[in-house]
Structure 1
């Protein structure tokens, strides 16, 4: 059932749980890679658990995503990194405390320090050959899927679905990037490079393909819908914004009113007004935003009005953890 293009001579004996990390600047498409890989792993028959680390900026910084891949259920992140793909020179210094002698680093030699041992994979050069440097992250998706023995048809179908709205030219470019990623993996296997590394790759599990893959914002949103939520107000603040976005995308389907307020004080008062009018309202925010809502919480108590507050915590000085 799980026929693949590769032999398993590069796999380690301890292959039940693998920690895969990608790290680079904001704008490198790390979230796109995470979204595609988690879907590809699930459809391929593997359990996945992904978590993000990102700075408060649109471009630059050192952002990372960890994807745990396993033959069994995964319920939490780990500090350990089994496979690391650094996308810029700041990745290794940023993650140095998590990198061990057993960490396998796949990437481009020019993006790490000269003394660092790395399996050199020319993602950028291959992307330029395809026609656009932006395809580099999809080449990464291809080589990772191939290393984990996923049938090539699965990432190709995911690519077609993910990029269909962006036009045929973009879709075909990304399809070519996936295929080149598989070719790179095949070349590394033939050369024996992967065999020397003993990469930990989990076994496949039956029934995973039919399970639901959700992120935290989607899970909270579906829970709110199930509870009868028909009004949401919020001022965007990561990591709570995903709930507002999800519910805003389904307003007609579930008869929900979604309002982006000018600040958090307005957001909670809008929700209180909705409850007073008979709706089931919710606000979504994070630590600093919730601090601004305190008088609204007091008002809810004084008026004896219910209020549902989704407090999406994030680590940092004075932000709630």
Structure 2
């Protein structure tokens, strides 16, 4: 390995651009390649952050010019690219989900977990400063034994229809972050019940998906986890959490660009709008995730989310999908 860790980013969409910015902000890293089948997308990233352009991820992985990749390409490419990374001895930070078919995840599981490279899953919210503080307080015993977890996640507006059509559905695309966060506090989920509705978006309904969902899950120690998701929120990007235990309660509220509040004859406690996009709200989490990935490579350990974390989140997403379409509660085994 050279003095600087040599990085390739595969996928030059909006998430690839964010990762490139994080690489650029990290002195220990060098952005060597940006890979995308549409080279114009890759050129936009390299124009901002440097590096060479390629449309061939396999050639870049096998080139010997890189030490690690950040995979932000379409979901169907994730496991094939991880296989190539293992063969080439190239470390990989891979965006979620691992795949849309749990069979592919299970088939690759033994090879992934036995790999000599670092495979880290991109569940960035675990590394958000607010959630890190929440986790630390739970670990210190502030709320005692967890009894309830409530997670709320609403996007400012729905993604385009073309994206919805290939996303795998709201549970695998959006709620999967909340499934992972739920396991951050209640690792062993044993039962999933979900409800879905079409409340406002016709093209999401046309694609056979929901725009509004709620999920209730039970943990092995009788903890209850409630997840509320929507593809829109008039007041911005709605990201809240509550942990309730026998000794108290912890909450995370939405973030604004300013904490200034106004009090007038027309309104009281009026504040600035909430952050309007996940890239703003979770910018720090992407940088922290990358730092943990680098430290994991140095120490030979996966310090962030693991392959099995990605597997567990997809199992929960599949169970929620089944429950919402059948009206049944679904038992799960995450082992």
Q: How high is the TM-score relative to the length of structure 1?
A: 0.36
Higher strand share: 2
Flag the structure with more relative contact order, 1 or 2, with Cα contacts below 8 A and sequence separation at least 6. Answer: 2
Q: Which has the larger radius of gyration?
A: 1
Q: How high is the TM-score relative to the length of structure 2?
A: 0.35
